[in-house]
A and B are shown apart, each in its own frame.
Chain A
């Protein structure tokens, strides 16, 4: 079943075609990798999918619904959540509160209930706490729940960002270089967590990664982008042995 269907989207900044005629189809439950050298336009693709940039052309369908041109907020409500290449946590808030922010649209009570501490405040906060702890446990972060998120070690900050995105209960999760800056053992652990959340939360994932070996180990399909254009697309072993891809990575 098609979950995400992107047809010929593109955007240019000034004269630069950052992404040109990008098309991809992702089926429900798949784990897709998006790779390509630095500056290839991978992050820009995420920004287009999440409404940070409006595409100059093309169409984005999520579960058949046209989400092209919607705002970031509406796209998140429609079911796409993401993480960022340069971590964007709520630094002055606790680890727990970061995740509870992700629950914002699924568990509601009015501002007045919060200010006057009406019963719905206590009821909903309790449910939110339980839910947030559940998610934190998946990432092994429950012990740090009260820490200021800025005080977490780097690897855990990356995990927390995924936890926060997952808290919005997305259909499709976009991970922008989740292992960037991690050492090999941290990376290994992260990959295990990604496999786990995929099973446990029944979520479809598109992940950007720089390290080809890593992508091959976890993704079922790979899409290669170079200078904003599709270079290859298919099974990992085929794509990674493609001479064009090797050339793009090694340079000429």
Chain B
């Protein structure tokens, strides 16, 4: 009986702990959102910052989703921007051809997001099947290569429509052989322009929260345990019957699909989406968010993504020194996050402890009185 009660207590505790952490993260996001909105209403937010709001959301989604591959599955991927690229183009393509026929903006944008996610996820499965038998450095190099392939193929891809249907080309607009009245949707290096600008800060925050919940729920489930078991010890995972290939591909493709969502958000936030945006620079930038925020730490990924998206814009006044300062900030953040001395210091000076110390002192004073 006693053990029974203890058991239940322990279970309840576990539930509380993960739920509490989620509530804190989502609560903080909602509060930050509300503050931003009221600042915008009151005219207290600079244009600079306002223009960055959606970017913070899609970079956060990118960071959280990459963390699933790098931190939770434990596989280094340097091609995450490639999946964002697929999502961006798929979503923009859909929205552009449907903009005249579908009046319901919410429905159209929702479909664009789902399509972008599905297409990126599909590529995640295909590429995952090919590359996930590799490990470590090899995997990193091959994912980098795939990211570049996606970018470069889209850079020379032309797609148009006319009364006869859809036309593809890898050469130029002319070789599409469009009828009069035909429309070029994807224009090679010029990408897609004129996508409806449906992305808003509100939608961005909603998508970020959904992404966060998907990953957190996945992690705290049977499949998530399998994924982390593979990360911690793949030989032991196999020995207890966990299908390594299946769960690697599952994690990798969910991660890719969510990067696709970030891509859709991106392409509906700017006038023209071009594939050159999605090179390895972007992949590595997102990896920096993940590493700084902490492997497997989703909240950390979001914080790192937000800070490092805003920071460079505010450093513009430093001109030539901008990237130097940015690099120094990166190093300082890294040290603060991961140096043992700093971890200890943070432990001893956590908000919770400081709070309880004050309460206890207060109590003592009372008792003595």
Q: Is B218 an interface residue (CB 8 A)?
A: yes
Q: Which residues of B contact A81 (CB under 8 A)?
A: 239-240
CB closest residue in chain A, given B238: A72
What is the CB-to-nearest-CB distance from A97 to chain B, in angstroms, rounded to a whole number?
6
Q: Tell me whether B239 and A101 are in contact (CB under 8 A).
A: no
Q: Please tell me which one of the listed residues B6, B225, B236 contacts residue A97 in the complex, with CB atoms under 8 A apart.
A: B225
Residues from chain B with a CB closer than 8 A to the CB of A73 are 238, 241-244
Q: Which residue of A lies closest to B11 (CB)?
A: A129
Q: Could you say which residues of chain B place their CB within 8 Å of the CB of A91?
A: 232-233
Cα(A142)–Cα(B241), bound, Å: 24
CB atoms of B222 and A124 under 8 A apart: yes
Q: Is B261 an interface residue (CB 8 A)?
A: no
| Distance between Cα atoms of A105 and B247 in the complex (Å) | 13
Closest to A168 in B: B240
B294 vs chain A, min Cβ distance (A): 12
Contact of B232 among A52, A92, A133 (CB under 8 A): A92
**B225 contact from A93, A105, A142, Cβ within 8 A:** A93
Chain B contacts for A97, CB-based, 8 A: 225, 228
Whether B101 is near chain A, meaning CB under 8 Å from some CB there, is no
Within 8 A of A (CB), among B237-272: 237-244, 250
Decide if A101 touches B13 in the complex (CB within 8 Å): no
Q: Is B350 an interface residue (CB 8 A)?
A: no
Q: Which listed segment binds B: A111-119, A203-211, A217-225, A232-240?
A: A111-119
Interface centre among A50, A91, A93 (most CB of B within 10 A): A93
A residues in contact with B243, CB < 8 Å: 73
Contact B221 A142 (CB under 8 A): no
Residues of A within 8 A of B218 (CB): 111, 114-115
* Residue of A102, A107, A125 touching B240 (CB-CB under 8 A): A102
Contacts of A146 in B (CB 8 A): 10, 13-14
Interface: A214 (CB within 8 A) = no
How long is the Cα–Cα vector from A221 to B368 in the complex, in angstroms? 71
The answer on a CB contact under 8 Å between B222 and A114 is yes
Q: Which of A72, A101, A164, A168 has the most CB of B within 10 A?
A: A101
Cβ-neighbour of B226 out of A89, A104, A115, A165 (below 8 A): A104
CB nearest to B243 among chain A residues: A73
Q: How far is the CA of A182 from the CA of B10 in the complex (A)?
A: 29
Which chain A residue has the least Cβ–Cβ distance from B216? A115
A145 CB → nearest B CB, Å: 6
**Are A114 and B241 CB-contacts (below 8 A) given A92-B228, A93-B228, A97-B225?**
no
Given A88-B235, A142-B7, A145-B10, does the pair A165, B240 have CB atoms closer than 8 Å?
A: yes
- Contact-residue bracket for chain B: 20 to 34
A42-76: CB near B (< 8 Å → 1, else 0) gives 00000000101000000000000000000111001
Q: How far is the CB of B75 from chain A (nearest CB, A)?
A: 15
Q: Is the CB of A168 within 8 A of B225?
A: no
B3 in contact with A76 (CB, 8 Å): no
Q: Which of B6, B223, B224, B225 has the most CB of A within 10 A?
A: B225
Q: Chain B interface mostly helix, strand, loop or mixed?
A: helix
Q: Which of B214, B231, B242 has the most CB of A within 10 A?
A: B242
- A109 is an interface residue with CB less than 8 A from chain B: yes
Residues of A within 8 A of B348 (CB): none
B229 within 8 A of A: yes
B10 touches A167 (CB 8 A): no
Complex contacts, B11 vs chain A, CB 8 Å: 129
B241 touches A88 (CB 8 A): no
Enumerate chain B residues within 8 angstroms of A22, measured Cβ to Cβ.
none
Residue of B nearest to A124 (CB): B222
B241 engages A115 (CB within 8 Å) = no
Report the nearest A residue to B6, measured CB to CB: A142
Q: Are A76 and B239 in contact (CB under 8 A)?
A: yes
Q: CA of A167 to CA of B242 in the docked complex: distance in angstroms? A: 13
**Proximity string of chain B (1-31) to chain A, C-beta cutoff 8 Å, 1 when within and 0 when not:** 0010011001101100000000000000000
Establish whether residues B217 and A52, one from each chain, have CB atoms under 8 Å apart when the complex forms: no
A77 to B223, alpha carbons, bound, how many Å? 17
Are A72 and B239 interface neighbours, CB within 8 A? yes
Asked if A227 is at the interface of the complex by the 8 Å CB criterion, the answer is no
| A155 and B107 alpha carbons, distance in the complex (Å) | 58
Kindly state the separation between the CA atoms of A116 and B69 in the bound complex, as whole angstroms: 20
Residues of chain B within 8 A of A164, CB atoms compared: 236, 240
New contact pairs (12) apart from A104-B240, A146-B13, A164-B236, CB-CB < 8 Å: A71-B238, A89-B236, A90-B237, A92-B228, A101-B226, A101-B237, A104-B242, A105-B241, A115-B221, A142-B7, A168-B240, A168-B241
Ordered by A's residue number, 26 sampled pairs between the chains whose C-beta atoms are within 8 Å are A71-B238, A72-B239, A76-B241, A81-B239, A84-B239, A88-B235, A88-B239, A89-B233, A89-B236, A90-B228, A90-B236, A93-B232, A97-B228, A100-B225, A101-B225, A101-B240, A104-B222, A104-B226, A104-B242, A111-B222, A111-B223, A113-B221, A115-B214, A116-B217, A165-B239, A165-B240
